[in-house]
Structure 1
């Protein structure tokens, strides 16, 4: 896609977000649901498949192009992006990174159109950032596989049509080896989804537990076919690396909105007969947030370019996700402080974003996991036990 086409898409998304979604943010937060009219608008704009190649019905954006779009999506409630985030991100990329041609042809066009919502089922009660302790397992039974286990905090599970499930297929393999990714339609007998989790924030974006009880799968349910057996960790790692750049860009977009809210309030709120923007301590809070936003945006753009070039698909994504997720929480905290008592009240945008932002430091790998990845990649064997 050339720059002119990308600019047109980004402009259309900016208009949609600011004119159609922002006015309904409080409604989404209060009802814990994104209105169907907005869902339809997302499908019409091709947002369910912007990272999926054109040959499968998507927009085929590169990572450098994708982040420019995600900056705009970050301006509003994360629930909007969550509608299609798994299709474009960690779930859809399971297919892009590891699927057979037949699997791609069967599933990717349906993901791109929004006909199907895919969900990435990796996390378990005792296996989050470290998948080596997965207990969900699959065993061969002739030409079939039998899957048993449970997953936790699975994004879009309540509405998913298909799960990308990571299960241990070689119980004797050490660490991250012996894990396989499976394509599991949600209506397969033995698959059940628990009630939606009650979360601190990000209302309208749903997670839930998923249970697999003697789920019988055909041999072609293995992502990548026979070559995909015991290759699941590699696929998961590649999907998560891409997802970290995406989440970093989302954090940058949210930081931009928080800066705008802070500036508007500081200019209009008066104390002692003058706008609080005149007070140097308020100016310092704004200056720090503006600087954080600039730094995050520049970092994400550099990391995205390196990802597309193939020169850094590990350290850069982790650094971007680590910095930007921490950064947006600092900006959110300052925004609440600038608003004073008003910033602690429901119905004020910065209060909602303060709750929403907290999750970014946890999912797609916690900040602590990103620190470990960055350090080990930088220090090499000396950092590994």
Structure 2
């Protein structure tokens, strides 16, 4: 379906006995069989709940893995996010699209309308899985992909969770794609971030990370204000040809002026210089700090403006509004949905003022 005129409808059918098993314990990751019809094509799939704290919400989020056929539209799995705490339902997609605009690898996403066993489940965001197919679709070199699964993915030798020295340099990460040998490259990366001398860091770090793309990722966090983004909510991709790491954003619903609970977040809540060990070391290096400052300035002159962002916001809100009115979990709060345009616009204006006032800190 043309995204300009509406959103696709997905029809999910689950046998009652399997649905009962799915609901028996929301914390079990074991999938159940289901049928999913997309654009008239019936697919056999494995379905499970996804996320951590979001499993407690009334409107569940799902992971879908294709069983027969094993692949569909170049994928073997994707995610359906309920976006339950985001009154606008668009912040995740708005963020992913923004990252792409500023030159950061980012998942593709689109809103869909989900039916389950003939009953309306509502508006969901379909999100591309970050895996080997993610790389293939972009003609990128094969390599390893690590998911940042908790706050220990902080590029440090110290645990963010326990405030003690890590027992393993892989803490905080889960290898999604690659081999055991790739774990060594991750360990080497983390070790060198923390042990290179001040004199060697500026040159030697270029052997491990694509600095320009890393700085663009940090800029994306800064503009969207994803508080957890520095130590969580990302995937690491190591390009098998260049040997360099770059970062892919993930889970960006708590952004654009709202926090993880859906509450309004102050525009100055996320500091301009961020926080994690790699970011701190890069911004302690005059060359990279200057590049970061120029990058923020460039994005504030082009993408992070009312003129650039608000037509995108308004288009997304307009497309999904008729479906929000049918969403059993969201239709009662349509007034809040209608106010989100103003919330996002106010955030952009106030965040710009804050960032402009702090740019001199980076000189």
Q: Same fold (TM over 0.5)?
A: no
Name whichever structure is richer in helix by fraction: 1
TM-score normalized with structure 2 length: 0.33
TM norm structure 1: 0.31
Structure with greater strand share of residues: 2
